[in-house]
Amino acid sequence: MPGQLSEPDLAAAGPMVPAAFEVVARSRDTSDTWTLELRSRAAGGGLAFAPGQFTMLSAGGSGEVPISISGDPGDRGRLVHTVRAVGLATEAICDSPPGRVLGVRGPFGVPWPVAELEDGADVVIAAGGIGLAPLRPAVLWLLARRERFGRLVLLYGGRSPGQLLYVSELDAWSARGLEVHVTVDSAGPEWLGHVGVVTRLVPRAAIGDAGTSALCCGPEVMMRFMVAALSDAGVAAERIHISMERNMQCGIGHCGHCQLGPTLVCRDGPVYRFSDAAPWLAVREL
């Protein structure tokens, strides 16, 4: 395309210049959440990323928002985002049909420490609501190396059955060796699964090994209670990692909008070791 920057040109231009990615597929997950598959418009382009990282995503003149990458880190050719429509920018992204070009900057941020997990370790993935989207790349990364680990356990909670993500994938993940436990806050008689908050899945899953590592993402209140439940089950605080969400506007630590204590979430997060973030999370409304 005339005037389009190549991948080397983009790298030279710096992280504030968005790359052009075309929407090639779009599917609806819930009443307000969509998954979009993007491909680079640059010849031979793509985006290498680690599980837990995010991009700054934009659609036309509607603004730019940080969105966690939810695709397979082993597939550089496809960039996948699961987006909830909650404002002007995210509504424009969710409304983007195949063929529309979006702006992508990144990837940014500290990833899940999956590459640092010990061989043979048990790993718990705890997600609340759309928090499963940032954890999906970690699930896929772990399953691709299933023989390296002990138990792989997913604890997933949603407000209702209709608000659960990736329902069609859960059975496939289970067949590959992931222990899947799902709960909802409320449901009608057609729901045959567990009802209750996600923390109640911790004892049901019999988690209690001191060598267990945990990756946790969801609303902050959910993560606070999940960390407490995992700690009560014997998981060490330094082995629990959480993904934080703040108002990120630049992605590279310049604007300061995403400050959390002495850190900037876009640069020093979004993934934190809980034992490091605990002092700031204890400050009300920080």
Model pLDDT for residues 74-122, shown as the tens digit of each residue:
998 899 999 999 999 999 999 999 999 999 999 999 999 999 999 999 9
pLDDT bin (cut points 50, 70, 90) of residue 14 is: confident
Those residues with Cβ within 8 angstroms of residue 47's Cβ, 6 or more apart along the chain or in another chain: 19, 40, 55, 76, 79, 104, 106, 107
Rounded to an integer, the average pLDDT of 142-161 is: 96
How many CB atoms are closer than 10 A to CB 178?
A: 19
pLDDT bin (cut points 50, 70, 90) of residue 286 is: low
pLDDT at 8 (0 to 100): 55
Q: Quick check: bond before 107 cis, omega within 30?
A: yes
pLDDT at 9 (0 to 100): 56
Phi and psi angles of residue 191, each rounded to the nearest 5 degrees, phi first? -80, 120
Rounded to an integer, the average pLDDT of 175-189 is: 95
Complete edge-to-edge strand list for the sheet that includes strand 178-184: 194-195, 178-184, 152-158, 123-128, 213-217, 240-243, 271-273
Q: Which residue has the tokens 């036309």?
A: 60
Average confidence score pLDDT of the chain: 91
pLDDT at 2 (0 to 100): 44
Rounded to an integer, the average pLDDT of 222-232 is: 94
Of the candidates 70, 50, 55, 52, the residue with the CA atom closest to the CA atom of residue 20 = 55
Angle between helices 220-232 and 274-281 (to 10 degrees): 130
Range in 7-21, 53-67, 157-171, 194-208 the model is least confident about: 7-21
pTM confidence score: 0.92
pLDDT in tens, 203-224: 999 887 778 999 999 999 999 9
Q: Which residue has the tokens 């990615």?
A: 21
Rounded to an integer, the average pLDDT of 137-164 is: 97
Residue 246 confidence (pLDDT) above 80:
no
**CB 63 within 8 Å of CB 88:** yes
**CB 253 within 8 Å of CB 264:** yes
What is the set of domains in the chain, with CATH numbers?
7-108 (2.40.30.10), 114-243 (3.40.50.80)
Output the six-digit token pair for 183. Answer: 């709960």
Alpha carbon separation from 77 to 38, 48, 49 (Å, rounded): 9, 8, 11
